[in-house]
Structure 1
Amino acid sequence: MLMIGLAGTTLATSEHAWLKAHGVSGVVLFSRNYSSRDQLMALVDAIREVGGEDMLIAVDQEGGPVQRFRDGFTRLPPLSAIGAAYARDPQDAVRLAEEHAWVMSSELRASGVDFSFAPVVDLARGNAAIGPRAFHADPAIAAELAQAYVRGMHLGGMAAVLKHFPGHGSVAVDTHEAAAVDNRPLEDIRRDDIHPFVEAIAAHAEAVMMAHVIYPAVDALPAGFSRRWIGEILRGELGFHGAVISDDISMAAAGAAGGVAERVRAHLDAGCDLVLACFPEVVEPAIAAVQGRAAPAPERLAALRGALASTWEGLTDNPQRDRFIARITALHAVEGQTPA
């Protein structure tokens, strides 16, 4: 029910109890947890030694501004660079989306990480938090590239997590900083923002992350706290049967539900399978909030576990990887970007 954040690059003794606690299903890693690939693999081993082999391990490794592991990994361009390539050659852009996804997922799988919270399928319509993380402003192009990205992740042995449902790209406010309200009617959201989710779900994406955005025409609650969005629309109308994941409960927009415990309970009551407690200071109250709660459907979590992992040495000997890296990193130069 919970994916928790850890403090540093090694597993602290005080964190052992967290990994063994009822309701803790996984760990989400950040830049603070990474210094090298060898260190990462040692941390992954330690997490699973304490928490069990079924412990899920995830990260945000989208590329561009959101790539937690950098040194020792391919510096991935943002998804917007693939969207820009679509104007030059749509078929090539679809291939680039698949290749970007394969490089990202295969590198993480070879390091013991189960999945990245990717791809972003929000529309690129000016949101402060999304920016270059999104493929395109056009729903049809975003949908085509999202499908390709899911295919590439699956080829790399990784489950796909679509975010941020039902669409974070068309409202200006950054939910990390403040409450965000999107006043459009449901018909507009269905036509535009939900379209890439529909197409990527059809490509068998395993999970969806909810937005902390409020859509008053549908529900007065943020989408991640909304039974209507999760139960009626995502699961009912769209027929999605995979895992539903909250965004981070520490974000300002999550405060609509109250304190940490109230945020966790509100997500679970609405139908989320996993709740993200990304910062160590919120982990203990989050764990307390899930005591006595039933676990989500086991097949939903099982589908998030990585498969087909190769060794890093086998991966670096793969000539396909060299070709893919050359093609996707060339997008940095095309877009006038340099890897940060």
Structure 2
Amino acid sequence: MPLGPVMVDLEGTSMTAWERQLLQRPGVGGVILFTRNFESREQLTTLVTEIHALRDPHLLVAVDHEGGRVQRFREGFTLVPPMATLGALHDQDPATARRHARTLGWLLAAELRAVGVDFSFAPVLDLAHGCSGVIGNRAFHRRPEVVGELGHHLVAGMRAAGMEAVGKHFPGHGGVQADSHLALPVDHRPFDQILHDDLQPFDRLVREGIAGIMPAHVVYDPVDDLPAGFSSLWLQQVLRGRLGFKGAIFSDDLSMAATESFGDFPRRARLALEAGCDMMLVCNHPEGALQVLDALEGHTDPVSMARLARMHGRRAPAWADLETDPAWASAVSIARALNDDKNLELPV
């Protein structure tokens, strides 16, 4: 059964009978996991294995695992430092920052692949403008060339561990104060300013073949009255046209407050789909997910399916193999040292 265009979530640490039925609906293409789905590495491995066993090709299993405060699995996993740590290090020692970015990318991906997770919604390619609390130290740096450079190395490390990356939040969430989880942010900057600033890291990573992009639930009103994730101007004309992106576009969560004024869940899903998203996320709202699946029943797009198939994780070592690998031990030491380094001043 091909991958459908909807990514859903689960309630707990194991699948219920109802969830097993849900995940076998043709419109489902993936599952996103949260902290509530995690109890231990062993439990998580079992859950992911059971999800994968439901379908062939298997459903995509994803997670937000960026490092810092956005890391859903913690106990038994290495605590990855916030990406701003690498930006602060880059100000002191660019070469070491680049090496550590690649190492951390490999580390976070290798540990996720060891439990079967296909990919993480990472890295954040937003700029650290200093006004966005929801982005804050999730961003590498203020300067777009530094974000592009460190993002490049992080993605290369992830790919070396058997995982593709999803850059977010196109074309840049860092220039607005409002949190799209809670409100609809509006960015009043003109297109040329965004083009020569926030868009630059995305441009670089697209040219280098990044497999996934997630647009922002932000309205850039000099360009379009719709949020980027609902805007064919941003997704078709800019991302696919001007930047030449060939990979998969994942909507941000359609249950976020920023989307509420654009209609019910089916309407939001259709806006995202018509704008150019290949997969829509519906999280923390089972009824909304069912509504979207009903509304999109029968939808097929072979091109989207091919883009999404690329997001399947590749073969990777098991945890037992990782723990005997000197490269893993070295990477864990680097992560710990960066977390403990009080000399690296981070944005809040």
Length-normalised TM-score, structure 2: 0.94
Shift of 1:311: 1.1
Which residue pairs with 1:147 in the alignment?
Answer: 152
Shift of 1:51: 3.6
Q: Secondary structure at the match of 1:321?
A: helix
Which residue pairs with 2:85 in the alignment?
Answer: 81
Output one character per residue of 1:253-306: Cα deviation in whole Å (capped at 9) or x when no partner: 012321111111110011100000111432211211211212352220111011
Which residue pairs with 2:203 in the alignment?
Answer: 198
Q: 1:44 aligns with which of 48, 51, 74?
A: 48
Task: Confirm whether residue 93 of structure 1 aligns to residue 100 of structure 2.
Answer: no
Task: Confirm whether residue 319 of structure 1 aligns to residue 319 of structure 2.
Answer: no
Output one character per residue of 1:134-159: Cα deviation in whole Å (capped at 9) or x when no partner: 10011111111111111111111100
Cα pair 2:187 2:218 within 8 Å, conserved: yes
Which residue pairs with 2:60 in the alignment?
Answer: 56
Q: 2:271 aligns with which of 236, 258, 266?
A: 266
Which residue pairs with 1:27 in the alignment?
Answer: 31
Task: Confirm whether residue 241 of structure 1 aligns to residue 214 of structure 2.
Answer: no
Shift of 1:308: 2.8
Task: Confirm whether residue 11 of structure 1 aligns to residue 18 of structure 2.
Answer: no
Question: How many correspondences in the alignment?
Answer: 337
Which residue pairs with 1:256 in the alignment?
Answer: 261
Q: Secondary structure at the match of 1:246?
A: coil
C-alpha distance in 2 between matches for 1:148 and 1:199:
12
Task: Confirm whether residue 104 of structure 1 aligns to residue 111 of structure 2.
Answer: no
Counterpart amino acid of residue 211 in structure 1: A
Which residue pairs with 2:335 in the alignment?
Answer: 328
Counterpart amino acid of residue 271 in structure 2: A
Q: Secondary structure at the match of 2:125?
A: coil
Which residue pairs with 1:169 in the alignment?
Answer: 174
Runs of 4+ in 1 over 4 A off after TM superposition: none
Moved more, 327-336 or 269-278: 327-336
Output one character per residue of 1:6-42: Cα deviation in whole Å (capped at 9) or x when no partner: 1000001111121111210010000010000110011
Distance of aligned partners of 1:181 and 1:170 in 2 relative to their CA distance in 1, 3 Å threshold? same
Which residue pairs with 1:291 in the alignment?
Answer: 297
Distance of aligned partners of 1:2 and 1:234 in 2 relative to their CA distance in 1, 3 Å threshold? same
Unaligned runs of 5+ in 1: none
Moved more, 177-186 or 121-130: 121-130
Task: Confirm whether residue 189 of structure 1 aligns to residue 197 of structure 2.
Answer: no
Cα pair 1:7 1:280 within 8 Å, conserved: no
Report matched runs for 1:124-163 at 5 Å: 124-125=128-129, 126-163=131-168
C-alpha distance in 2 between matches for 1:217 and 1:256:
19
Task: Confirm whether residue 301 of structure 1 aligns to residue 308 of structure 2.
Answer: yes
Which residue pairs with 2:127 in the alignment?
Answer: 123
Counterpart amino acid of residue 204 in structure 2: E
Counterpart amino acid of residue 229 in structure 1: W
Q: 2:231 aligns with which of 210, 226, 235?
A: 226
Counterpart amino acid of residue 185 in structure 1: P
Length-normalised TM-score, structure 1: 0.97
Q: Secondary structure at the match of 1:248?
A: coil
Cα pair 1:150 1:203 within 8 Å, conserved: no
Measured on the aligned residues, the alpha-carbon RMSD in Å equals 1.3
Q: Secondary structure at the match of 1:127?
A: coil
Output one character per residue of 1:134-187: Cα deviation in whole Å (capped at 9) or x when no partner: 100111111111111111111111001000000001111100000100010000
C-alpha distance in 2 between matches for 1:244 and 1:44:
23
Which residue pairs with 2:72 in the alignment?
Answer: 68
Moved more, 44-53 or 269-278: 44-53
C-alpha distance in 2 between matches for 1:51 and 1:34:
22
Unaligned runs of 5+ in 2: none
C-alpha distance in 2 between matches for 1:170 and 1:107:
32
C-alpha distance in 1 between matches for 2:27 and 2:103:
35
Cα pair 1:37 1:111 within 8 Å, conserved: yes
Cα pair 1:6 1:280 within 8 Å, conserved: no
C-alpha distance in 1 between matches for 2:67 and 2:33:
15
Q: Secondary structure at the match of 1:57?
A: strand
Moved more, 242-251 or 325-334: 325-334
